[in-house]
Structure 1
């Protein structure tokens, strides 16, 4: 599609504002507004998020008093703070972020007017010096139990004042990027300037109790080029020590080597550390995040890409502590894994980060929202007794509002570029306009992924000049390279039969393999067709012997999808289901089931497995991912 000059300039401001340090990510994502999704898998989900999820989330914010809190803070409505948590402000910010992304895809005057109205309500609630935190502003003499009488003082514990700021900044950058309007951005900048005034060497030294302000400040730095925002993000990370493992404040961040504590806080912090590492050149941050990534992927990652095994602190357990029925796997933590792994890729250019991202996206994230788009999971276990159902909303509603903002941003993960290379990271039917180096290229991607492994990318010039010579790097997913994940935590139990095949204009080619990418360098002509065939085989997965719940069990895997069984397909019982012999298993397309899915069935028995993301969309029933093999299975 053609990009309006206004939006193109906004994008440039996000990545190349004058006054930047020379350091930045060596690889840049192609932003969401330059990729139009047109497939049968993601396009309906993005539309459903626009038509169903965002409207019901907005309604919940009105019905539960979240909007009223801003009206009370603006003194246009009487009453006390009306919701349970002081971070409830962020649900509105996250929905505004998602609505902003969505408006770029689906112009919608009614939604845009609603967004404008909410921004005006937020502006009215902001205090004259930029402070914005309705729980205190409504009645500073009757404070929530988590809040100190002094601003910011209780943030390292539970006040969430800085957390609220971070989500405001994320929403403001998205709104400005998508619409070109400064209304929410000006509110955010006024607030960020207050932080720069209050915090820093010789001033307040309270680290954020729930991280995200670091990522938000970096986004404001990208928009404005104001170095103080980046410096403050680094300051918040550097003062983080002398606290608890729960919020990763037990050690200086550059000395941390293991994933501990609350998993959402952790992934948001790791993403912020990656941003600071990229923009300041501080390699100590990079060394730390790399070590923590290894700790998770080798010892603390679920097969679904979920993280956070322990419900008590919503976070990480010890090495190999990965129970199935008690798995917490918060939806927000999976979204955080996507944010962080994308940044690790932009730093390192290795496919393993998008391998983990893809696993989390198709399994851990998508499980968090129903196929109808109006019900949600907070935890995402890998076994269930039939009593677990998705909820319409939660008192702590971080997961539904996070889904709202994340789903419409997915087009921004499909491609990335350097001056002479395009990375195809996700296989999604789409049209994209890319500008990188001296090149302007239009890519049309056609695929039925994740059900089919056949992908075609057509290359055309996007301007008057030919596309020219550059590299196209196709990610060959780990599962297509006989690697379940990039560690020994899980492995395929049956050998691969096929392998990835690349052709150009119908002729087989032998690309250069580099860090999990098949790299094609050529002088591209209009209409060149690159075809990738990935082997969509049914694979059995076995877990590391130290994962107690999975000993003697196997999981089913096909393409990027983890499969599970539900009692509704097996006469009521899934927890006692046995895995039929591998040679009897078949992939079968069922267009009428669960919005159209490919199931795995057995030739000689009543066995049906469905993609994990699709469970709990019918009658409540048992569910299991890891199955004991039948006596003759091998």
Structure 2
């Protein structure tokens, strides 16, 4: 294999941040809060936690606060998020903080391009000897993603130069004939970073190395096992598993190295690692001469979203591996559903939509974004959930930071790059994936199509798209129709049009004129959702949804323990705007079950009283103090209202 790769276009390319202006009642306050609150508080945590200081390489054995193996990744994701913010709004203070961090990274970089604090000052001389556990390539990948974002936002090359020097070293080490040929990362991310770096620089060698690492993964002899034999020690995490030789297959599944990527069909192992790997595979698939990569992705998507995904778009039910359990094994209280995993699902879903043109992938993206991701941060933008359960007994609160702090800056970089998820473009079509009010400009080889979008999504289902700048040639505008949408209607330039939904979109092709308006409407009303019977944790229970939002019950709204509540079959759902929450509440008449027995088990029947049950969007939960919470509500089939 040569280290060159041919680049072809995907079906749809996300619009760059600079081509989009968001002016949206739901999202704009969150984006601005990210700039003024989330990014500064995260910077404070990185400074006080020692991540910035560690880049000085001043730590020595015996000192406190030993650098962690993944600290560079936290800084890199923060830089990436800050760069997206700077791309749309200049901020001298934030820009200076980013420049300071880049200067520190440059100072920590070794003469040959290597950059990793832990393996420079804590375990010098052991670089690239523990690819399974050491997170070197994971940190490198985030550095490259940050470099591409920073260069794109500011035009500066300071971080891009650092990333290229490191990437050039990796080519030297991992290319055919190099000392580490056949190696790949234990926590996938380098593949995404190399892809981004190739796009930012035009250097196809980086893309080719990403391909080689993906294609080497899972081939025999298994690299990580051979690596451990050469090293003669268990590895950074290996000491936790003295019987790891007996668990070899499970270890391989944990980091998705159990089979070549083209042969993988079942989503297994650590869920964030899987999402990053599947995203990289989706980046690579359109550039290959065969469909085997895309075929694998289709099966992996089915495994993930049809058998292993929570209603919220959360994935990874097993806390012992931070990853996937078996099919339909989706416990409620023990749900892990790491925030980073939902973010990773958003990454992957966008790429699957780009490769196929199918709106069903954006349906999942939106489910994860509005529920599994947004619940991961507090309303103030300063505290975070690492895992996101489907019910709580009132013992959970968000934390300001974590010892393993991957989720906070990951959350920040997604919110600050929302523009790239809302709009996409093919050679002949402007694609609106998410209904975020604002404006977008599509460039068709010098022919500009400027659109403004106005909606009150996710609360109402009317979307008005106005053509501000029209090209002189015929173009298509594609508007996604969510899979749950009903009563869909379409008007174009004042005339009713028949609604024809193809692969999740209504598509209108014509020679546009400035002032043309497309109005798409669909009903957003509360609905009852049931799980498949194989999901035994949700047996006899129902959930409430409205539009893209999953709803939950909190004790603060329902006079105590929500586990006592049930709703009857066919119960009428009501919805109304709540000024305090700045959200739509859903209410329903139900019952409260009270057991007066002091015994854990009893033959006595519950006493039952009428109750008005109130539900709020899941992303809102936990913002009003400790409270019980549940998504899946007991269904009383004997009652009707």
Alpha-carbon distance in structure 2 between the residues aligned to 1:547 and 1:325: 14
Superposition map of 1:25-36 within 5 A: 25-36=10-21
| 1:152 to 2:139 alignment | no
Structure 1 equivalent of residue 585 of structure 2: 599
C-alpha displacement at 1:576, in angstroms? 2.2
Superposition map of 1:50-449 within 5 A: 50-72=35-57, 80=63, 82-83=65-66, 85-141=68-124, 149-156=125-132, 158-203=133-178, 204=180, 205-241=182-218, 242=222, 244-437=252-445, 439-449=447-457
C-alpha displacement at 1:439, in angstroms? 2.7
C-alpha displacement at 1:22, in angstroms? 5.0
**TM-score for both structures, normalised by structure 2:** 0.88
DSSP 3-state at the match of 1:471: strand
Q: Which 10-residue stretch deviates more, 78-87 or 371-380? A: 78-87
C-alpha contact 1:580 1:602 (8 A) present in aligned 2: no
Per-residue CA deviation, residues 533-560 of structure 1 (Å, 9 max, x unaligned), is 1111211101000001111111001100
DSSP 3-state at the match of 1:524: coil
C-alpha displacement at 1:401, in angstroms? 1.3
Per-residue CA deviation, residues 561-581 of structure 1 (Å, 9 max, x unaligned), is 000000011111112221256
Per-residue CA deviation, residues 502-535 of structure 1 (Å, 9 max, x unaligned), is 1113321014422111111111111111111111
C-alpha contact 2:317 2:325 (8 A) present in aligned 1: yes
DSSP 3-state at the match of 1:155: coil
C-alpha contact 1:101 1:408 (8 A) present in aligned 2: yes
Alpha-carbon distance in structure 1 between the residues aligned to 2:312 and 2:561: 22
After the TM superposition, list the runs of 4 or more consecutive aligned residues in structure 1 that deviate by more than 6 angstroms. none
In structure 2, runs of 5+ residues without a counterpart are 225-251, 590-609
Q: 1:543 aligns with which of 490, 507, 531?
A: 531
C-alpha displacement at 1:91, in angstroms? 0.6
Alpha-carbon distance in structure 2 between the residues aligned to 1:420 and 1:512: 19
Q: 2:515 aligns with which of 517, 527, 530?
A: 527
DSSP 3-state at the match of 1:606: strand
Structure 1 equivalent of residue 241 of structure 2: none
Alpha-carbon distance in structure 2 between the residues aligned to 1:514 and 1:115: 44
Alpha-carbon distance in structure 2 between the residues aligned to 1:563 and 1:580: 17
C-alpha contact 1:564 1:625 (8 A) present in aligned 2: yes
C-alpha displacement at 1:436, in angstroms? 2.3
C-alpha contact 1:29 1:416 (8 A) present in aligned 2: yes
C-alpha displacement at 1:582, in angstroms? 4.5
C-alpha contact 1:24 1:280 (8 A) present in aligned 2: no
Alpha-carbon distance in structure 2 between the residues aligned to 1:140 and 1:361: 39
Cα separation, partners in 2 of 1:273 and 1:473, compared to 1, 3 Å = same
Cα separation, partners in 2 of 1:353 and 1:81, compared to 1, 3 Å = farther
Cα separation, partners in 2 of 1:40 and 1:309, compared to 1, 3 Å = same
Per-residue CA deviation, residues 363-409 of structure 1 (Å, 9 max, x unaligned), is 00001011110010000011111001100100000001111211100
Structure 2 equivalent of residue 475 of structure 1: 480
C-alpha contact 1:328 1:379 (8 A) present in aligned 2: yes
In structure 1, runs of 5+ residues without a counterpart are 1-18, 142-148, 481-497
Structure 2 equivalent of residue 146 of structure 1: none
| 1:42 to 2:27 alignment | yes
C-alpha displacement at 1:350, in angstroms? 0.4
C-alpha displacement at 1:628, in angstroms? 1.1
C-alpha displacement at 1:437, in angstroms? 4.2
Larger gyration radius, structure 1 or structure 2: 2
Structure 2 equivalent of residue 612 of structure 1: 618
Structure 2 equivalent of residue 493 of structure 1: none
Alpha-carbon distance in structure 1 between the residues aligned to 2:282 and 2:372: 22
C-alpha displacement at 1:138, in angstroms? 2.1
Per-residue CA deviation, residues 50-94 of structure 1 (Å, 9 max, x unaligned), is 111110110000101011110126x8x998583463101111100
C-alpha contact 1:308 1:316 (8 A) present in aligned 2: yes
DSSP 3-state at the match of 1:221: helix
C-alpha displacement at 1:460, in angstroms? 1.9
Alpha-carbon distance in structure 1 between the residues aligned to 2:418 and 2:456: 17
C-alpha displacement at 1:108, in angstroms? 0.5
Alpha-carbon distance in structure 1 between the residues aligned to 2:64 and 2:87: 34
C-alpha contact 1:383 1:575 (8 A) present in aligned 2: no
Alpha-carbon distance in structure 1 between the residues aligned to 2:311 and 2:146: 31
Cα separation, partners in 2 of 1:408 and 1:239, compared to 1, 3 Å = same
Alpha-carbon distance in structure 2 between the residues aligned to 1:20 and 1:269: 19
C-alpha displacement at 1:151, in angstroms? 2.1
C-alpha contact 2:349 2:365 (8 A) present in aligned 1: yes
Alpha-carbon distance in structure 1 between the residues aligned to 2:137 and 2:298: 26
Alpha-carbon distance in structure 1 between the residues aligned to 2:508 and 2:195: 34
**TM-score for both structures, normalised by structure 1:** 0.89
DSSP 3-state at the match of 2:55: helix
Alpha-carbon distance in structure 2 between the residues aligned to 1:577 and 1:84: 48
Alpha-carbon distance in structure 2 between the residues aligned to 1:81 and 1:422: 54
Structure 2 equivalent of residue 575 of structure 1: 563
C-alpha contact 1:460 1:467 (8 A) present in aligned 2: no
RMSD: 1.8
Structure 1 equivalent of residue 235 of structure 2: none
Structure 2 equivalent of residue 632 of structure 1: 639
C-alpha displacement at 1:24, in angstroms? 2.8
